[in-house]
Structure 1
């Protein structure tokens, strides 16, 4: 694989030296797996897994109008965020199509905000903010290349990270919150967020200390069954939890209501990009995201047609044989609305019609302790 034109995370050399199978993803050279996707997946469900997610875009907004700028470009109501809290939000175009899904952070110092976006959409998100800068008295800084982002996920994530984190007790940290502190004597921001359906954390550190932090976490998690995990397991984990992925469940041709993301669109917060279109789409989104269960082990991949009787009603957006649930499952976008749970449908796989049943999303719920 040629990586001449690809961006490399601060952990690239470690991945290459330790058997990570590197692939292109969003313009970056990223490990898709080390041992096997299934083994890494189960390590996160049962123990703890470590992910390099430094490819994700990291932006910071400062200034008196930082909040107003975020309110203009994102769909959720960032004004509801207390310092230290995080919200899921969307960046849409004028027609209500999704340009990206993002996390917005109200940072703990002053009125600064952070935003994490998808790697493949980082430049487009920056462009969208610049396009709608107007007269806002605020600055936007892109720290993606200067920092590293590491996710530690699974039932043993908390005790593993707590051993190296100097700051507030992580067990007291609420879901979708973040706190500053130190790891190995250097500044770190730790958020209780993730993309796996398990409890866990995502931490941001300077790129120069990324490998030292990574190695320390692997050492601390050694007796807890920790594994380095690639993008393959990250995808199967998010899929079981029915978390949407840009380029699959989300795109410019899909609006938030069709994607099942209505709670993250606050039409009453004031004007924002796409608001008028979204107000019209709210009552008639034109399509819906559904879950499907297939018998046997045949996998319905992205692009497979979904049929009700002889009528093509939609397309599979993601599908796999779910490692935790041991079941062939898929998500699909169908029109004009979601058939009731239990409805018998069919999926066209390589020219053959395979039976499928509409099931409730998410497929997987984390056991509550």
Structure 2
């Protein structure tokens, strides 16, 4: 979490008044004052796994890249082949440094043949925009920051389709498959609903104009109440994403972490002739990564928080990048980067939790997969 000291300097979501009316505990995060929790983390987490939760993620950044060279530019700044995305589809990818590390991890949406929406992490908005500006020389594109004019809410959970279907006009949410999106209206307000999310559940991320945010939120929350949906805050979003082993920028990935170390090779299209970081990633692929992102389960008592030291015998080999109590698993879990020789599932390790060595073991990721009976 960010530690902004002066709350008067913090930005506020278009839904700030709604959060306060609902009694949310507000905290500084990435330059915003955002809801940490409402009724409680466990209740919100379990509601998303069993029914649905509604999150405000309007702090995220939104950039639109358009113009004759939009496809070529998108392929240059990411390791994915975004030029091959069909209009109406999205992809998880990254902006990469020359050494194949993360400027940021992002979601890219192809809005038209020559137009993309890039959704970036809130804490990286200014950095990402400046970095993209440095890369645009030689490309005939327009780059527009629409972050402050855009609101974004995430409706996540197994009942999200039914909830959205009851309030949206213009498309059937049950026909929108994973990493696709559709345009419609909610309470007469234009929205774009994407089958994306950060929880490991079926869900939608719903864009609207900031001026329409309260109307859209109210409609979704009212419809969701009939299905047991609840408003959910950043704390539950964090426990949900960790169970799903989704990395958090600034903890699990950053500009010192390569895409291969993070075990995210699936975002790389090796057949591309050129993208930023390609040579470094090819070299790393050929020689093998020295360390790899892994999951662990704590076998003893205690929760291994970020920064806790991890040991193989008496030798410190890593530090925890993310760690929490997982409500679905009812266990303490976490992620870290271990030397490749130690990264196999089942490997015993110990973790220093408040000065006490606690046993743990490496496990395959993710920790949680939604039941197969739930449609994609």
Q: TM-score range by the shorter chain?
A: over 0.9
| Change beyond 3 A, Cα 1:16–1:113 | same
- After TM superposition, the structure 1 stretch with the greater mean CA deviation from structure 2, 266-275 or 346-355, is 266-275
CA contact (8 A) 2:300 2:358 kept: no
Partner of 1:341: 345
Q: Give the distance between the partners of 2:64 and 2:353, measured in 1 at CA.
A: 44
Partner of 2:71: 67
CA contact (8 A) 1:297 1:327 kept: no
Partner of 1:5: 9
Partner of 2:184: 181
Q: Give the distance between the partners of 1:340 and 1:110, measured in 2 at CA.
A: 43
Write the mapping of 1:109-124 to structure 2, written as runs, cut at 5 A.
109-124=112-127
Q: Give the distance between the partners of 1:342 and 1:335, measured in 2 at CA.
A: 15
Partner of 2:87: 83
Unaligned runs of at least 5 residues, structure 1: none
Instruction: Select the residue among 269, 293, 296 that pairs with 1:292.
Output: 296
SS at 2:9 equivalent: coil
Partner of 2:206: 203
Unaligned runs of at least 5 residues, structure 2: none
Partner of 2:255: 252
Instruction: Select the residue among 53, 56, 63 that pairs with 1:52.
Output: 56
Q: Give the distance between the partners of 2:228 and 2:341, measured in 1 at CA.
A: 43
Partner of 2:28: 24
CA contact (8 A) 1:197 1:366 kept: yes
Q: Give the distance between the partners of 2:159 and 2:23, measured in 1 at CA.
A: 24
What RMSD in Å do the two structures reach over aligned CA positions?
1.3
Q: Give the distance between the partners of 2:306 and 2:22, measured in 1 at CA.
A: 31
Partner of 2:39: 35
- Superposed CA deviations along residues 141-171 of structure 1, whole A, max 9, x for unmatched, are 1111001001000011111111111122111
- Superposed CA deviations along residues 81-136 of structure 1, whole A, max 9, x for unmatched, are 011111110111122221110011111x4421111110001111111110010121
SS at 1:341 equivalent: coil
Q: Give the distance between the partners of 2:86 and 2:113, measured in 1 at CA.
A: 11
SS at 1:268 equivalent: coil
Q: Give the distance between the partners of 2:341 and 2:71, measured in 1 at CA.
A: 35
Instruction: Select the residue among 350, 354, 357 that pairs with 1:350.
Output: 354
Partner of 1:266: 269
Partner of 2:103: 99
CA contact (8 A) 2:74 2:83 kept: no
SS at 2:42 equivalent: helix
Q: Give the distance between the partners of 2:50 and 2:308, measured in 1 at CA.
A: 32
CA contact (8 A) 1:255 1:285 kept: no
Q: Give the distance between the partners of 1:117 and 1:314, measured in 2 at CA.
A: 28
Instruction: Select the residue among 299, 319, 325 that pairs with 2:323.
Output: 319
CA contact (8 A) 1:48 1:154 kept: yes
CA contact (8 A) 1:62 1:113 kept: yes
SS at 1:102 equivalent: strand
CA contact (8 A) 2:292 2:343 kept: no
Q: Give the distance between the partners of 2:44 and 2:53, measured in 1 at CA.
A: 7
Is 1:282 matched with 2:285?
Answer: yes
> Taking structure 1 as the reference length, what is the TM-score of the superposition?
0.97
Q: Give the distance between the partners of 1:36 and 1:130, measured in 2 at CA.
A: 41
> Taking structure 2 as the reference length, what is the TM-score of the superposition?
0.95
Q: Give the distance between the partners of 1:210 and 1:47, measured in 2 at CA.
A: 23
Is 1:214 matched with 2:217?
Answer: yes
Q: Give the distance between the partners of 2:60 and 2:341, measured in 1 at CA.
A: 33
Q: Report how far residue 75 of structure 1 moved.
A: 1.5
